[in-house]
Structures are given as C-alpha cells and as structure tokens.
Structure 1
Amino acid sequence: MTAISGGYTEVLVTVPTTIEEKPLCKVYKRRWVILAIFIVYTGGNSSQWLEYACISNVVTKYYNVSSYAVDWTSVVFLLVYTPLIFPASYLINKIGLRKGILIGGGMTALGSWVKCASVSPGRYWVTMVGQTLVAIAQVFMVQLPPQVASVWFGSDQVSTACSLGVFGNQIGLALSFLLIPIAVRNHPDMEDVGSDLARMSYVVAGFNTIVFILIITLFQEKPPLPPSIEVAKKTDCSQDFIAPIKRLFRNTSFILLIITYSLNISVFNSFSTLLNQLILTYFEDGQEFAGRVGLLFIIGSMFGAIGCGIILDKTRRFKETTIALYILSAISLIATTFLLGKRSQTAVYIIGGIFGACIGGYMPVSLEFTSEITYPEPEGTTAGILLAGSAITGVPFTMAYAWLIEVIGDVWANVAMTIVLVIGTGLTALIKPDLRRQAAHAVTINKEEEKNNHLA
C-alpha cells in the first residue's frame, strides 16, 4: 500500500498478524544437576522395594514368617499406589514439583529410619510399617520422570532425560540385588543375621537422609524460561485436575496403552519379586548367585532404558519400538525359563541381562509414548494413571505367579506369563501413533519459517 504525503512517497507494509511469535526458550546447564538429584532420589526409594524379597530365605528364618509374608514387603508398594496416586498427583499439581519431591524424600527417609527399629525377631510388624511409609513415598516420584524431563530439557533430549529419570529407579534395584545378599548373610546364628540387618538399615537410612538434604538445598521447581516450544505453549493445569482426566479416558489409544503397560510391568514386578525363589529352586545355596542375576537383570534394564531413550530422540518411532520390546521380552522370558532348567550360570547371567534390557527399555518408551499421544495434558497426571494401572494388576499378578509356581511349577508359570506378553503385543499393535507433542513442535517451527520467509 502506498500514500503521498508532503512530497514523499510513504510505503506502508502490512505484516500478517496471524503468525504466532515464537516463545522465548532456553535450556540451562543446571538441568543435569536437577536430573542427577532426581535419579538418586528415586534410587534411594526403589532400592527398598526388593530389600527383603531378594534375601527372602534369610528374612523368613530371622523373623519366623512365611515366604508369602516376605512377598508383601514388595507387594505393599503396588498395593498403596492405586488408592494414593490420584491424591498425590492432585497435590503435586497444586503445590508444585519441588514440594511434591520434598514430601517423597522426607517420607522415604522417615520410613528408612523406622526400619532401623525393626531389627528384632519379634518386630516384623515394625518392618512392615517402615516399608509401608517408603511405599507411600513412591507415589511422589515414580510418575515424575516425564514431567522433570519436559520441564527442564529441550525437545531433542526429552526422551533421553525421561529414560535417565527411570534409570534412577533401576539403579536402586540393581544396588539391592548386588549389595543386600552380600551385606546380609545366611548365618546359622540369628544374632549375626540381626547385626547384618541393622547395619544395612542404618546405611540405607543415612543415604536417604543425605538425599533429602540435597533436595532441600539444590532441587528447583523449574527454570526461569521454558526449555522448549511445546512446554511454553502448554496451559497451567494446576487449577483443573478433573477435566484432563475426563479427556484422557476418552482417548482410546491411551486406554490401550494403560492395558498393555499394566500387563508388561506386572510381569516384570512378579518376576523381580520371586527371582530369589526361582534361582534357589535350581541352584542350592544360590542366594548370592540370585543377587548377581538380579543385578544383571537390572543393569540390562538400565542400558535398555537409556538406549531406547536415545533411539526415540533420534527416530521418534514410539509404537514400533514398543512392539519390538514387547516381542523381545516374551522371547527372553521363555529363554530364561529354558536356561534355568539347564542349570548353566553363565547362560542365566546372559539371558537375564537381555530380558532386563527389554523390560527396562519398555518403561521409559511407554512413558514418553503416553506423553506424545496425550499432549498437552499434564505429564504427571498421564504417567500417574498409567502407573496406577500396573499397580492394580501388579498385586494379583504377583500373588498368582507365586501360586502357579507352587502348584504347577515355575516352567508353566513362566509360560503363562509369556502368553500375557504375547497378548500385550497384539494390543499394542492396535494403538494409533498420534504423536501430538511432535505435531505441536512441527506446527510452531513451520510458522516460524513462514514468518521468516515472509519478512525476507
């Protein structure tokens, strides 16, 4: 448009106002400190999940309780999760990420100290009280890896960061399998067993107290500027907790993912809880061997989690990766069953690591897949619902697995679990890969390029 004014020709350029301004974003170096604190925070809690189950033969003798009673020290983590996850998610939405993690860290430390007072043959109930407190604390952490990743990391690192957040949970389990069978020996004298249990309890309590102090002094709510366009464009959901849940349960792909995740992780939880009993069936006095197998199982899961996170950041192939991990998990479980019968320690080590890599890789992939198909809903809420599904199925799965092992033997029990994984694979194939978060990122980038081209 042109106009004549005072002998000069004015050129008026009309710039379209429909093109959105690109939000101001920045990725901060301190994100790695925040993630490191979150890793040790979740590791300190998860290390106590199988704390007693991985030495079940010692615990049953010291406290004079049944193996089923010892199983409940891990089952309680699944049992309390279901009724508490929604209140915890609501509370975290209201008070913020930092305060939610402070609650989880404080309760983990408190439960650890309570268990220090449980080292006496007549105080198994005190052990369960402390274990229950630690189990309650988990609801303030296990659904948070996607949220921590999205709040602090850019689009090209968010899947890797989520995988590393899950890594903390795995490293806690790995340390349990490695150190606890060594720290608590199967002594003939119960006083020696009590001394080992006391030493273990004080070390765990001291570690979690240090972690709680780190959270108080160093953990931050969020960076001054958002790390990515997707995070910048998300609306504040802290004032509306119910509406996102209603929308989520109208998402068919999300419902399918809840079911498939629940099946896969319930198999993982059942196998991990009863691994000590499975190993001792084939290897006499194999407590430490069971611990080493569990260690390789968890180390494999850590490498699987990190590797799959990197793959997702590079390829964005969420559905394909999920299906591949499901198939490999089923194959690995059957191979583990076969090799246990052969009583070859080397073979059990190898396949245990492979099985762990498949199951461990599946966890962060599913969490990130959930964030993609439910964007822009809050990551903590979506992950919480996903994990609640696995907690609901986890208790009956573990009890049923223990019953099947006792009634029909471990071989057919593992066959049953493999069938569950096959069913989960088929259901995963039905999920529509509607990657909404990636679409939002692409739309904003395209608009920015359109704006730059127009101005040029």
Structure 2
Amino acid sequence: MIKDEVKIKLSKHRFLVLTIYCLTCLHTNSQWTQYQVIADILRPYFGASNTDIDWTVTLWCPVYLLTCFISAYCLDVFGLRFCMISASGFNFIGTAIKYYSIVYPNFLITCLGQSIVAAGQTFLAFLPSSIALTWFPAEVASTITAIAIFPMFFGNGLGYYLPSLAVPDGSSPSVQKIDLERFFFYYALSGFLLYFLNLFLVKNQPEYPPSFASAKAAAESTEFIESWKVILTNRVSNFILITFTFLQTLANVVLGLLSPMISKYFPNQNILIGIIGAIASLSSVFGSLILAWVTDKTRKYKLVTLISSILMVPLFGLLIYSLEMGSKLFVTIVVTLLGFLLAGTYPIGMDFIVQANYPMSESVCVTLMMFSNQLISWPATVLVSHLLQYYNLYYAFSPFLLMLVIALITVLFTKDQLNRDKANLEIT
C-alpha cells in the first residue's frame, strides 16, 4: 500500500453509530440478571425454584457458545451493520416473548425469550473493537473500546436496580402481576424502537478510513479460517487469551451471582441488592474508562493488567470479611472497588489481543477470547452457585483464588506486542 494514496478522514457519523450501539447494548445487557434480583417474587409467580431462577443468568453462557462463531462469521463477511440489525432484531423478539410469558405465566417460555435476547447480545459482543478500528483513530482505540463496552456494565447495573424499583417486594400478588406486565411491556416497546434505529441509521463503514492502521487492515484482510490458524499459533496471543479469559470469567461470575451472594447474608432485601449491584456495575464503567485511558496514554498493557490483578487478591478476602460482619456500607465499598478492577481489564484484553494479532480479523480475535471466557464462565457460575447454596463463602471463593493465580502467572509471560501501533507509525 502506498501511503500517499490513502486518504484519512474522520466521519461525523461515527458518534451516531457508537451511540446506537451503546443504547442497544445497554438494553440487552440490562436483561441478564433482571429475574434474579426479584427472585422472591418470581418463584411463586412461576412456581420455580432458586436454581430455576439462576438459570435465567446461566443460560447466557451456552447460548453464547452456540452462536458466537456464527455472529463472528457474519461480522467478518457481512459487516457491522448486519450484526447490529441482527442483534436488535433478536432483542426485540426475545423481549416480546418474555412479555407474553409474564401475561400468561410460563417459565419455559421466559427461558426461551431470555435465550433469544442472549443470542442477540452475542452479535454485539465483538463490535467494540470493530467500531474502534473502523470508525475512530488508532490512538484512541482503547478508550473507544471502553466507551463501547461500558453499556455492558451499566446495563448490568440497570438490570439490578430497575426490577427492584419497578416490582417492589411486599405488595399483593395481583399488584405484582400488574407491575411485572408493565415492566416487561416497556422492555418490548423500547426493543422495538431500537430495532428501527439500527435498521435506518447504522452504516457499515465510513467513506474514508479513520487511520492508516484501519486502511491497512482492510487492504490486508485475511480469510476467516486462515485468521484462526495464525492467531492460534501466536504464542504471545495465547498468553493474553489465558490471562483475560480468567479475569473476565471472574467478572462474569461475581456480577452474575452478586444477588444470591448478598441475599445469603441480607435476606429479603431486594432494594439493597439492587442498589449494591447498580453501584458495582457503575464502578465497572469508570474502571473500564479509566484503565483504558491509562493504557492508551502509557501503552503498558501488561503492567496495567498485572497491577489490577494483584490488587484483586486482598479485595476478595475483604468481601468475605465484610459480608460476615454484616456491614452494608463495608460490603458496598468492597464490591465497588472489585467492580472497578474486574471490569477495568475487559477493554484492555479486547484491544490487547487485537494488537498482538494485527492485521488479522479483529472479529476472530475477540471471538476466541469471548468463547474461552464463556466456556469457563458456564461451569464456574454453576460451581460457585452450588457452593453458595450448600456451603459457605470460603468454599465459594476458592475458584476465584485459583483463577486469579492462573491469570497472574500467565500475565508474566505476556509482552506488549503492539503490531497495530507499529503499522500506524508507518504513515509518519
């Protein structure tokens, strides 16, 4: 590629694409834990058990494993617009089915709707790094990736807070049914509106590339299968993959099981659980943005990850201590700090593995990381849920310690292999 022949220009449309993506992602992710927060109400409503309600969270993992390669292939072949329309379409269909299952109570239909929403979320999971590379300059890639990821965590926070607010505990069953129907109707209606925003306003790519790295990636794009071969034989990439698989699994399990974890020590306090969950998710947003900004400025991916991982070790110990103390304030502070660090490594990992494998397809890089993450998150969530229900926090937190040790060991073998940065320097 001759540099003089490449016209670099930023599109004004880039912020609209990013905004619509964020709104769609916020909507889908807010549904992840929404049943678990009001489990006390939904158990008698559906005639379901605690384990049944937990499956509305856990089923996202197998759905992801079944659909992630399809969505990654669609991104690679059909592009960003197709994936966003597909995601919003699945989301709307899923929310409509969930509304039906509330009007005519049926837990299996609820799980079907939840599974369809989860399938839609799979089409969104790979897009942050793709949006950053396709629409924005390379020097802000980590920050844009973090901004695109923040709705995932902010959505989780809404998923904790909104159900407890919309369907308060203590009211009569007839009032709760009306509250549930209203709550899920608004979700279906907003899902419908988001589908049309994606259909009419999202573009596949800008007219001109936003950076030389983006232009070079498009010109040197590799076949989908060939990309897999190259990425899987990249030693540095494999260490990055292992490190961030376990760090992201920690985030998934902790945020996914925060409700039963807290309710074990503070029973029948749905509002408290909703507030703590929302605060933890909000701190995740700031963690993602701040650590991504630090990484963008320093380009020290390995060092930022190592320090964050080390700081998590005492925080897990403090979480056990605060829960056993029964201090709501102490629990909130510790969970907030954990959320900050756990989620903060998420955009770093996505951008790091794309950097190490550039100019290979970013969709393949992120697919591999997300697939590994969900492959471990599924059994880890089931295991920790079982240990929480039948044993104590010491047993339940032992898998967390094991995952942290593995992540700390493998991050020592990684190095800051920033191939995309090197390519972008070629223009100067």
TM-score (norm 1): 0.90
Residue pair 1:54, 1:275 contacting (<8 A) in 2 also: no
Instruction: Give the Cα–Cα distance (whole angstroms) in 1 for the partners of residues 188 and 3 of structure 2.
Output: 52
Name 1:389's counterpart in structure 2. 372
Instruction: Please give the alpha-carbon distance, in whole angstroms, between the structure 1 residues aligned to 2:98 and 2:382.
Output: 24
1:315 aligns with 2:303: no
124, 127, 135: which is aligned to 1:141? Answer: 124
Tell me how far apart the structure 1 counterparts of residues 218 and 301 of structure 2 sit (CA, whole Å): 25
Q: Distance in 1 between matches of 2:141 and 2:93?
A: 32
Instruction: Determine the structure 1 residue equivalent to 2:101.
Output: 118
**Is the contact between residue 325 and residue 362 of structure 1 (CA under 8 Å) also seen in structure 2?**
yes
1:29 CA displacement? 2.7
Counterpart of 2:226 (choices 243, 247, 257) is 243
Structure 1 runs of 4+ aligned residues shifted over 6 Å read none
Which residue number in structure 2 is paired with residue 364 of structure 1? 347
The alpha-carbon distance between structure 1 residues 99 and 238, as it changes in their structure 2 partners (threshold 3 A), is: farther
2:60 pairs with one of 77, 86, 89: 77
- Shift, 1:229, TM fit: 0.6
1:150–1:19: structure 2 CA closer, same or farther, 3 Å change rule? Answer: closer
AA aligned opposite 1:247: V
Q: Deviations over 1:378-414 (max 9, x none)?
A: 1112111110101111110001001222333123312
Contact kept in structure 2, 1:45 and 1:134, CA below 8 Å: yes
The alignment partner of 2:267 has SS state of coil
Matches within 5 A, 1:412-431: 412-431=395-414
1:10-21 pair list within 5 angstroms: 20-21=3-4
Aligned: 1:178 with 2:161: yes
The partner residue of 2:172 within 189, 192, 200 is 189
Pair 1:200–1:122, CA change in 2 (3 A): closer
For residue 185 of structure 1, what is the amino acid of its counterpart? Answer: P
Q: Which of 190, 210, 215 is the equivalent residue of 1:207? A: 190
Say if 1:331 and 1:23 are closer, same or farther in 2 by CA, change over 3 A.
farther
Q: Is the 8 A contact 2:284 2:341 kept in 1?
A: yes
> How many Å separate the matches in 2 of 1:122 and 1:20?
62
Q: Post-superposition shift, 1:148?
A: 0.6
1:160 counterpart = 2:143: yes
Specify whether residues 235 and 120 from structure 1 end up closer, same or farther in structure 2 by C-alpha distance, changes over 3 A only: closer
Q: Residue 22 of structure 1 contacts residue 229 of structure 1 at CA under 8 Å; is this kept in 2?
A: no
- The answer as to whether partners of 1:151 and 1:226 remain within 8 angstroms in 2 is yes
The percent of aligned pairs where both chains have the same amino acid is 25
CA offsets, 1:342-377, max 9 Å, x none? 111111111111110101111001001111101011
**Pick from 34, 57, 61: which aligns with 1:51?**
34
Whichever residue aligns with residue 284 of structure 1, its letter is P
Higher Rg? 1
Partner secondary structure for residue 157 of structure 1: helix
Q: Which moved more, 1:195-204 or 1:119-128?
A: 119-128
Tell me the alpha carbon deviations over residues 249-268 of structure 1, each in whole angstroms, 9 at most, x when there is no partner: 10122222222222122222
- Counterpart pick for 1:435 among 412, 418, 423: 418
Displacement after TM superposition at 1:120 (Å):
5.3
With over 3 angstroms needed to count, the CA separation of the structure-2 counterparts of 1:61 and 1:322, relative to structure 1, is same
Task: Give a deviation string over 1:34-57, Cα, whole Å, max 9, x none.
Answer: 111110111111111111122222
Q: 1:183 to 1:231 in 2, by over 3 A?
A: same
Offset from partner CA, 1:400-433 (integer Å, 9 cap, x none): 0012223331233124312321221111111132
Which residue, 249, 252, 255 being the options, matches 1:269?
A: 252
Secondary structure of the residue aligned to 1:21 is helix
**Contact residue 104 and residue 140 of structure 1 kept, 8 A:** yes
Unaligned runs of 5+ in 2: none
Instruction: Specify the alignment match of 1:380 in structure 2.
Output: 363
CA contact (8 A) 1:260 1:428 kept: yes
Amino acid at match of 1:131: Q
Q: Give, as a single letter, the amino acid of the residue that structure 2 aligns with 1:295.
A: A
Determine if the alignment matches structure 1 residue 331 to structure 2 residue 314: yes
Give the structure 2 partner of residue 453 of structure 1. none
Which residue, out of 215, 234, 239, partners 1:232? 215
CA contact (8 A) 1:56 1:276 kept: no
Q: Does 1:97 align with 2:80?
A: yes
Aligned letter for 2:17?
Answer: I
Where does residue 265 of structure 2 map in the other structure?
A: 282
**Contact 2:221/2:360 (CA < 8 Å) preserved in 1?**
no
Amino acid at match of 2:405: V
Alignment-derived partner of residue 450 in structure 1? none
- Number of paired residues? 428
User: How far is the alpha carbon of 1:20 from its aligned partner?
Assistant: 4.7
Match for 2:26: what amino acid?
G
Q: TM-score, structure 2 length as denominator? A: 0.96
Q: More displaced, 123-132 or 403-412?
A: 403-412
Instruction: Tell me, in whole angstroms, the C-alpha distance in 1 between the residues paired with 2:252 and 2:19.
Output: 25
Aligned partner letter, 1:227: P
SS at match of 2:11: coil
Which runs of 5 or more residues in structure 1 are unaligned? 1-17, 446-456
Which segment drifts farther, 242-251 or 434-443?
Answer: 434-443
Asked if 2 retains the 8 angstrom alpha-carbon contact of 1:63 and 1:120, the reply is no
Matched, 1:25 2:8: yes
Structure richer in helix, relative to its length: 2
- Counterpart code for 2:400: M
Q: How far apart, CA to CA, are the structure 1 residues paired with 2:314 and 2:289? A: 21
2:94 maps to amino acid:
G
